Amino acid sequence: MQKRIYNFSAGPAILPEEVLLEAQENLFSLPGVGMSILEISHRSKTFDKIIAETKEDLKSLLDISDNYEILFLQGGASLQFSMVPLNLMPPKNKADYILTGSWSKKALKEAKRVGTVNISASTEEEKFNRIPKQSELKLDPDASYVHFTSNNTIYGTEWHTEPEVGNVPLVCDASSDMLHKKINVNKYGLIYAGAQKNMGPSGVTLVIIRKDLLERSSDSLHTMLNYKIHAENNSMYNTPSTFGIYIIGLVAKWLKKNGGLEAMYKTNKEKAEILYNCIDGSNGYYKGHAQKDSRSLMNVTFNLATEELEKKLISEATVAGFDGVKGHRSVGGLRASIYNAFPKKGVEEFVKFMKEFQAKNG
């Protein structure tokens, strides 16, 4: 088998080796089926079972009640920037958005096309290096919903508790931290997440929506943009990403087998701590972007004194077998994405590399 390197990519991103091996083993022919997952009909009994099991496993991992519908859609998290306001904003046509990074800004841009948007808080003036405090949020109690981004993939910040929004439905873009810990789904009206960061391959987006909110979807909406239609058709109004749903199912089983989301969260905290300790212990050689209380467990962002040094680190890291540590093109610097599937051993080895780099180039 070919050797694998350490993949710090922000997305599409690392998947559990066991999942890849199982998918590989069964790619030619699903056991007892005699056809590949890539070849079977989404209307087949085999696929019915796959989608049902995937939903059940997600329900059990997150304790999702029957008040919620689980959907597998396409168009990425980016299409949700439009679907959320199109479905949920009417009839009041006003919503609150909390701006904590590039993705929330993109969500805001689409919402503005649908109705009036109130920016409840923004940390843009501080280069999005923190999550706003509850006391900073200017919330409209009459808003259709409040939108926030639970993990800011590009800036490396994360909400450690949900904003308190009273009775207004809370909508969350959880694309880069979905399934990294147990959350209380009952606090949310809708959660969406592109799969390719922490759950599976690109091409499928998980949407968890409280059933009563489906009543807001107007019949005048285009069919493919209507949550209610997708819910009524078990995500199979059209052909879904069958392979994507299959891989999410394998990832969910992998999480369950390894102790569920409590165990995953414990490991994620340990991994992030190793990296942040290295940054904090470097006497300012490595500068973390996020303020300490806003640090992400998934995307660790930092800088060196100069761009030259950053480039040098990136190229030496690549040679040493660490891929994808370059920061997002919009902000530069460095970013180590250490999603669920990223092994603790890889973090330890990268920290060793960082310390050696500092010793040589300090």
By annotation, the residues acting in catalysis are 103, 173, 197
Quickly tell me which residue has 């800004």 as its tokens: 105
- Residue 292's φ and ψ, nearest 5 degrees, are -55, -45
Binding region for ligand PLP (CB under 6 A) out of 74-82, 92-100, 241-249, 275-283: 74-82
Contact in structure between 354 and 316 (CB atoms under 8 Å): no
Q: Is 78 in the site for ligand PLP (CB under 6 A)?
A: yes
Q: Does an H or E element contain 117, and which?
A: strand 116-122
Q: Is 9 in the site for ligand PLP (CB under 6 A)?
A: no
179 contributes a contact to ligand PLP by CB under 6 A = no
Of 46 and 78, the one with the shorter C-beta distance to ligand PLP is 78
**Integer Cα distance of 51 and 72 in angstroms:** 9
Binding of residue 153 to ligand PLP (CB under 6 A): yes
Least separation in angstroms between CB 342 and ligand PLP:
16
Query: Total number of residues binding ligand PLP (CB under 6 A)?
Result: 12
Answer for which of 7, 176, 294, 303 binds ligand PLP (CB under 6 A) is 176
One residue of 163, 189, 194, 346 binding ligand PLP per CB under 6 A: 194
The correct pick among 173, 206, 241, 326 for binding ligand PLP (CB under 6 A) is 173
Contact flag: residue 110 with ligand PLP (CB under 6 A):
no
Contact with ligand PLP (CB under 6 A): which of 55, 130, 180, 197?
197
Q: State both tokens at 65.
A: 């009640």
Figure out which of the listed residues 13, 50, 77, 313 binds ligand PLP, where binding follows CB under 6 A: 77
Cβ–Cβ < 8 Å for 147, 99:
no
Q: Cβ(18)–Cβ(223) under 8 Å? A: no
Where are the alpha helices (H) located in the chain, listed in sequence order?
17-27, 45-62, 76-88, 102-111, 227-232, 242-257, 260-280, 307-319, 344-361
Length of the chain: 362
In the numeric block, the tokens 């080796």 are attached to 17
- DSSP class per residue in 119-186: EEEE-GGGTT-SPPPGGG----TT-S-EEEESEETTTTEE-SSPPP-TTSPEEEE-TTTTTSS---GG
Among 175, 268, 337, 358, binds ligand PLP (CB under 6 A): 175
Of positions 6, 7, 8, 11, contacts ligand PLP by CB under 6 A: 11
Q: Which two tokens stand for residue 12?
A: 């599409």
Q: Is residue 87 involved in binding ligand PLP (CB under 6 A)? A: no
The Cα 166–Cα 20 span in angstroms is: 42
Closest CB to ligand PLP: residue number: 76
- Peptide bond preceding 91: is omega within 30 degrees of 0, i.e. cis? yes
Stretch that binds ligand PLP, among 64-72, 172-180, 277-285, 336-344 (CB under 6 A): 172-180
Near ligand PLP in 31-70, by CB under 6 A: none
Of 170-178, 241-249, 277-285, 351-359, the segment contacting ligand PLP by CB under 6 A is: 170-178
- Binding part of the chain for ligand PLP, among 12-20, 137-145, 159-167, 173-181 by CB under 6 A, reads 173-181
Binding site for ligand PLP (CB under 6 A): 11, 76-78, 103, 149, 153, 173, 175-176, 194, 197
